[in-house]
Structure 1
Amino acid sequence: MRQLTINKNDAGQRLDKYLSKRFKTMPKSLMYKYLRTKYIKLNGKKVTPEVFLNEGDVLTFYIKDEFFEEKKHYDFLKAGKELDIVYEDENILLLDKKVGVICHQDNRYDADALNLRVLRYLYEKGDYDPEKDQSFTPALCNRIDRNTGGIVIAAKNAEALRVMNQKIRDNELKKYYLCAVKGCPKPRHATLTAYHRKDERTNTVQIVDKEREGFKKIITEYTVLEPSPTLSVCEVLLHTGRTHQIRAHMAHIGHPLLGDEKYGDKKYNARYHMKRQALYSYKLQFCFTTPAGCLENLNGQTFEVKKVKFLDKI
């Protein structure tokens, strides 16, 4: 017999979902059989799979030990240690992701990515224990392209992840970008509306001014902060968040980003020796209009990256 006590991160989900995450090698058919035959009990009683778990609930298991035996090998310990923390509390991390760092591991960057660095940091700090948090892993709430830097949000617990995902989905955050563009946009401030379509085959997007079938509406607001006939610094506020939206939209109005090899001017980029787009998600403002639970303290706050590297090169 073994027992597990449900903690805060594991609460609020169906029992069968929790068991599937906790016992990855247990066939689902066997799991349901264990529940029917009372080999798995909740608070000492027979339980059905759809019951939702509460913090402090005790699960009792009369099952094979092999399902509890897992190798304690954590791939995230191979990740780098470097993290630039803009803000941290018991619920979230705000991280200044540097240009060149990928948010999530893939086939090319399987040993080091921002999400893995976060897990390593929290594990070594003692804020994350994979043995205790069996069905929750700290996670990034948003992502930024590898060749763009800026603020990325990481949730340290299940409630924070759930709330932050809802806030992002409902546009209760404002994300401001700095960019350097060719020429000087006119007027100095404008809110642009256009239509966007992504080509999955080439990983590029097309922007048109009038609505078309297959195109999605985009809204991009810009303000020229440092005007110049040759190169201007702009602040951009995204009202929608489509692939390459800022890069493609600014290029569409005749002011491509410096260093943008996909939508920009290659000769212009070479003049400034820029091989990556001059774009940075430098400021984040929390503007909650609905209850925020454990994140309520963030409402009305603004966080900003103090040093944007590409500004030193122009």
Structure 2
Amino acid sequence: MKELVINEKDSGQRLDKYLKKYMPSAGTGFLYKMLRKKNIVLNGKKAEGNELLKAGDGIRIFFSDETLGKMRQGNDSDKADAHDREDTRSGTNKSSYRADDLKIIYENEDILIIDKPAGLLSQGDDSNEVSANDLIRIYCGNKDRDPDETYKPSVCNRLDRNTSGLLLCAKTYVGSRFLNEMIKSHAMKKIYLAVSEGMIGEAGTLDGYLIKDSSNNKVKIMASGKETEHVVTSYKPVTYNERYTLLEIELITGKTHQIRAHMASVGHPLAGDIKYGGHPYKGERVQQLCAYKIIFPKAADPSADDNIKRCLSMLLKDKPDGILMSENALLLT
């Protein structure tokens, strides 16, 4: 028999979801059967599987050690893969990142916000290169992680490889719900700095519809389209010269390549952004773009659940203005 006690990191999720993460090799139907037969019980009682777990809840699993071991196989695969990718890098500059090198802007028990350098992937892809997601899992795994925890620390927003700046990461299930709710509800403001080609003297707002071109990994901005593809980008010049403008850009919506495509659509591609019509900038052929500021709301929505309110309150206690800033901010020289 195995007895588990839910901690704060795993609280807030459904029992069935927790069990599936704890025993990834067990089929969903099998888990529900075990619940019906009371081979798995919650706080000593029969459970349906849809119960929301709270810190301190006890789960008893009446399996043999051999059966439980088989059901648990695969639970640490992501962490192992992350270490493998870190240890088998090619040694090129773009892959020379280690967990010890993470620049932490803010951290509490639920969330982690890092300053991603340009060149580092946010999440893994087919290249098998190390990503920020890998490094975050290694970093959190090195801090006395309970082997019975099911939630794997994860990136909640995504920046292009060559975009630097603030990357939001959840260390717990509660942290994931909090950050995803902030992003989904647009309660949190995301401000970027960008160097665009040409001189822009006035602030403006761009409105359009984003169409993906998967074959070229690009997007296009169109005058009309589906409401789900609607994008809005606001910008204002910070400074400019005869060739370039340093812009402060707010993403009202947040879609893949939105800033890059929107600025290119009005004849001001980002400096260095060859893919969207830009030209090399100081010898570099990558977009000059940084996610440099995040502004959290001063109060949670009254309808938000207690965990989201708690997460925001904890952050505001540490950062009363709700503002977090990158140290990678671009300058126009």
Q: 1:86 aligns with which of 105, 112, 118?
A: 105
Q: How many Å separate the matches in 2 of 1:289 and 1:47?
A: 32
Q: 1:77 aligns with which of 75, 83, 91?
A: 83
Report the more deviating stretch, 159-168 or 4-13. Answer: 4-13
Size of the alignment, in residue pairs?
303
Q: 1:204 aligns with which of 212, 218, 234?
A: 218
Q: 1:224 aligns to what?
A: 237
Q: How many Å separate the matches in 2 of 1:28 and 1:214?
A: 35
Report the more deviating stretch, 48-57 or 240-249. Answer: 48-57
Instruction: Tell me if the contact between 1:26 and 1:67 (Cα under 8 Å) persists in the aligned partners.
Output: no
Instruction: Tell me if the contact between 2:42 and 2:57 (Cα under 8 Å) persists in the aligned partners.
Output: yes
Q: Deviation of residue 102 (structure 1)?
A: 0.6
Q: Does 2:115 match 1:100?
A: no
Cα distance change of structure 1 residues 68 and 193 upon mapping to structure 2, 3 Å threshold: same
Q: 2:152 aligns to what?
A: 137
Secondary structure of 1:119's partner?
helix
Q: Aligned AA for 2:331?
A: L
Q: 1:162 aligns to what?
A: 177
Q: 2:265 aligns to what?
A: 252
Q: How many Å separate the matches in 1 of 2:31 and 2:52?
A: 16
Secondary structure of 2:161's partner?
coil
What's the RMSD between the two structures over aligned residues? 2.4
Instruction: Tell me if the contact between 1:248 and 1:263 (Cα under 8 Å) persists in the aligned partners.
Output: yes
Cα distance change of structure 1 residues 193 and 26 upon mapping to structure 2, 3 Å threshold: closer
Instruction: Tell me if the contact between 2:290 and 2:328 (Cα under 8 Å) persists in the aligned partners.
Output: no
Q: 1:121 aligns to what?
A: 139
Cα distance change of structure 1 residues 30 and 259 upon mapping to structure 2, 3 Å threshold: same
Cα distance change of structure 1 residues 283 and 124 upon mapping to structure 2, 3 Å threshold: same
Cα distance change of structure 1 residues 102 and 26 upon mapping to structure 2, 3 Å threshold: same
Q: 1:293 aligns to what?
A: 310
Q: Deviation of residue 213 (structure 1)?
A: 5.7
Q: How many Å separate the matches in 2 of 1:99 and 1:106?
A: 16
Q: 1:172 aligns to what?
A: 187
CA radius of gyration, larger in:
1
| Percent of aligned pairs with the same amino acid | 35
Q: 1:305 aligns to what?
A: 326
Q: How many Å separate the matches in 2 of 1:66 and 1:106?
A: 34
Secondary structure of 1:9's partner?
helix
* Structure 1 unaligned regions, length at least 5: none
Q: Does 2:191 match 1:181?
A: no
Q: How many Å separate the matches in 2 of 1:214 and 1:90?
A: 37
Q: Aligned AA for 1:240?
A: T
Q: Deviation of residue 156 (structure 1)?
A: 1.7
Secondary structure of 1:282's partner?
strand
Q: How many Å separate the matches in 1 of 2:251 and 2:38?
A: 53
Report the more deviating stretch, 27-36 or 80-89. Answer: 27-36
Q: How many Å separate the matches in 2 of 1:138 and 1:278?
A: 29
* Structure 2 unaligned regions, length at least 5: 87-97
Secondary structure of 1:108's partner?
coil
Cα distance change of structure 1 residues 26 and 172 upon mapping to structure 2, 3 Å threshold: same
Q: Deviation of residue 297 (structure 1)?
A: 3.9
Q: How many Å separate the matches in 2 of 1:95 and 1:103?
A: 11
Secondary structure of 2:199's partner?
coil
Q: 1:60 aligns to what?
A: 60
Report the more deviating stretch, 166-175 or 59-68. Answer: 59-68
Report the more deviating stretch, 213-222 or 234-243. Answer: 213-222
Q: Deviation of residue 212 (structure 1)?
A: 4.2
